[in-house]
Each structure stands twice: as structure tokens, then as C-alpha cells.
Amino acid sequence: MKLLITGAGGQLGQEWVHFCENNQIVFLALGSQDLDITEKSKLLENLDSFNPDVLINCAAYTKVDHAEDEPDLAFKVNAEAVKNISEICFLKGIKLVHYSTDYVFSGDINDRFTFPKGYPEDGITNPVNEYGKSKRAGEIGILESGCTYLIIRISWLCGSYGDNFIKTMLRLAEERNELKVVNDQYGSPTFADQVVEQTSRLLLENCEGVFNVSSGGITTWYELAKEIFRLKKKEILIEPVSSSEFKSKAARPYFSKLDIQKISTIPGINIMHWQKGLKRFLNTF
């Protein structure tokens, strides 16, 4: 199986490169400096020369607050470019793997009780910010293209590469004695290496469609921070606060948990509880 990876410089892209190198998979990794996915002709050039079986699209516009001021750019990358990619994949018979987000849902706090296991793959989408709207538009482009696809929705992504919540907490713990952390947003961290491994298993099993990928269990950012510092034996005072303490331009979801029942039925996939996944991550990071 030959893989072409776009967005290879990001958290997931770098994790895919690491995975492919360790598993002797034939791949071509293209970062943003190598390929702007909005340039259709450049994409075609690379696909024609490399001729992959699968295109792994890790490229995305992810600046949630900035998207409120520049929605056109967010939609250009997350929707228009993705639509072009999916149509090209359909014409060339290439399977598309595309990563999406919990932000395609409303994140309403009441959904915590409506969907105690998290949002299911077929749940009604209702994004509340421009980033979420652009990502949902990208999903729709894929669904309408006719290509063979895997849409993988993830939330609270944490990995060895790039910036994320866990790294931020560890950095702040070196700089401060006290921290305020939001305690009214619910979800579960998704570890990048697990995303790649589970996506690979979906490919090996010839799966298609939409899948949620995340850890087992549910927590808040505050409880996650507490567990990080407990495992790292960091003495720091953490104050739980409401989201209103941190002003942001874009509305943030209060509920980000994704239902992982569907993917848990796939042979070879074992879902790890977020606490176990966090301990594993901190031991290897």
C-alpha cells in the first residue's frame, strides 16, 4: 500500500511519517512548504508522479479564533480544497482518509445528557463557529464526491509533535505556581499515535465511512490537568474555573465527547481509557 500524506508537518502528519518509517510503508510526505492543498494543479502533479493507493489528508486550517475574522481562508482550506481532493480521488480511484473534528457538532452542554457516550457518527451536526462550519463543509464535499473515503473525527488531540494542551500544562507548570483551568468543558483527549494506529487498522480492514476516534471515558480540562500533574509529580495549585474566565472570539463547545462504540467493534482495535493513554503518553514523551 502506497500512502501520500498531506499536511505532513502537523501533529498527525508527523505521527504518520513516524508510523510509516517504523512499519516500512511506502509513502510520500508533503508538508505545507511542499504542497498547498488549495493548488489543485500541484496536487495532481504529485498524485500522477507518485500514484498512491491512499491519500491521507492531515492538512487543515486550525486557527479557531482567527477563523472568525478570516472565514474565507478557513473555507478555502477546509472545504474547497477538500472537495477538490475528494473529486480527484474519485476520478483516480484513490481512497481518501480525511481528519475532521468534534467541532462539527454544537457542543451544547445539554448534549452531555442526551448523548452520555458522546456524539455518534450519525448525530445531527450543528457547528457554532466558522472553523466548525468549514470542517463540516469539507465533510459534505467528500460525501458528495463519490470517492471511497474514511472521515475520522477526533477531539482534544495530543501528540509528541507540535503544540497541545498537555505540553502547554507542563510548560506552564515550570513557569508558575498557580493555574486556572476550565472545568465546564467535557470531552476526552485523543492521542495522535492512537489515531494513526487505529486509522491504519481501518485501512487494513477495508473500512469505509465516518468513524470517531478518541479515548475511553470523559473528563474536563481541569481534571485532565490535575491528572497530568499527579502523574508528573508536579506540586502546583490548580483552580477550576468556568469558560467565561477565558474570553475567546470563537464559541467553544462545552461538550466534545465522541461516541467510540462503532470503531471499538473493528478487529484489532483496542480502546484505551484516557487516564491510561495519558500515562502512556507521559512515559514516552
What amino acid positions are annotated as catalytic residues?
A: 131
Count Cβ neighbours within 10 Å for each residue of 115-136 and write b for 16 or more, e otherwise: beebbebebebebbbbbbbbbb
> 36 CB contacts (<8 Å, ≥6 apart)?
42
Q: What are phi and psi of 222, to 5 degrees?
A: -65, -50
What is the distance between the alpha carbons of residues 11 and 7, in angstroms, rounded to a whole number?
Answer: 9
* Beta strand 2-6 pairing with 178-182: unpaired
* C-alpha separations of 278 from 196, 201, 214, 252 in Å: 16, 21, 12, 23
